[in-house]
Structure 1
Amino acid sequence: MTFVVPFDGSKLADTSLVRAVEFATALEEDVTAVTVVPERKRYAREKGWIEEGEPYDVEEVIETLRTRVNSLAPTATFDCERIREFPPEAQIAERIERLVRDHDPSVVFLGSENVGRVVTPLTSVGVHVAGDRSYDVYVVRQPHPVAIDAIEPHADFYSGEAP
């Protein structure tokens, strides 16, 4: 089994990765973080990867995300797909879904405030990833430690001391 985390460096993605590691430690499973990085400056700004007017260095963003994954989950693997074209966001979500499936996950840990709502944007990665029935989805909606006795929370992450 592999636990897969779509990772974009957001707070909920950070929490999803930490949560996946907590469960993986208890269940002796592997964790893989997956990222799709398009060469779209606007998308990079929306994700908080660059500021307005800042130059967009795709390789630097990939390395920053890789470093973040490694700092939160040193035993996790990182898989990134760079998209050279400029697809609409729905196609980016589909690429993330395909990358998730490439790892044959048993559970996908998804940080999302949208999944499960009656009205969800069609471009939401969560809609695409959560809709696949070949794996379970653990939706992380809050950045708090889990309240399951068998799962040991990463205290430094939840106390705000994480890198």
Structure 2
Amino acid sequence: MTLVVPYDGSALAEAAIDRAEQFRSSVDEEIVVVTVIPNNESYARERGWLQDDEAFTLNAVVSTLRERTVASRDGVSFRYVTVGRYAATGTIASRIRTEIQRVGAEVVFIGSDNAGRVVTSIASVGSKVAAEDAYDIFIVRRPSEAA
């Protein structure tokens, strides 16, 4: 069984990784963190994926995300997919679902403050990923205590 965590750098995405690690302690499975990276400097800066003086490059963003997600965690791997500068939310959710299927996930941990309220909400990538029935969903709506 593979556990997947879609990751955008938010406190809830961090909490989702923490919850996946807690869950994994009872099933001893791999955790795969998946991020969709738009070719959009503003998007990356708004999410804190770059330092203020850092140039926008894919390598810089991937390095930051990898450091935040897997550097101090055993059994956690990082995957990313790139999309165009103006990718719609539906595109991002679709790419996440594709990666979830590609790794054969059985459980997905989504950090979202609105994915659990109404799964069909049009505003949330998390809700679109949660609408899939090919895997179980664990929705994290509270940040980790340390966050």
Deviates more, 1:119-128 or 1:36-45: 119-128
Is 1:101 aligned with 2:112?
no
CA RMSD of aligned residues (A): 2.4
Q: Shift of the alpha carbon at 1:100?
A: 1.7
Q: Which residue does the alignment assign to 2:48?
A: 48
Q: Write the letter of the residue equivalent to 1:44.
A: A
**Which has the larger Rg?**
1
Counterpart residue number, 1:58: 58
Aligned twin of 1:83: 83
Identity rate, percent:
38
- Structure 1 residue runs without a partner (length 5+): 145-157
Deviations 1:61-112 (A, max 9, x none): 1111111112352321111112355422321221122112211111100000
Map residues 119-134 of structure 1 onto 2, 5 A cutoff: 121-134=121-134
- TM-score normalised by L of structure 1: 0.78
SS at match of 2:105: coil
User: Is the strand fraction higher in 1 or 2?
Assistant: 2
Contact 1:14 1:72 in 2 (8 A): no
* Cα pair distance change 1:123/1:15, threshold 3 Å: same
Aligned residues: 147
- Indicate the residue corresponding to 1:20 in structure 2: 20
Runs of 4+ that moved beyond 3 A: 50-55, 118-121
Change (3 A) 1:72 1:13: farther
2-side partners of 1:17 and 1:118: how far apart?
A: 22
Structure-2-length-normalised TM-score = 0.86
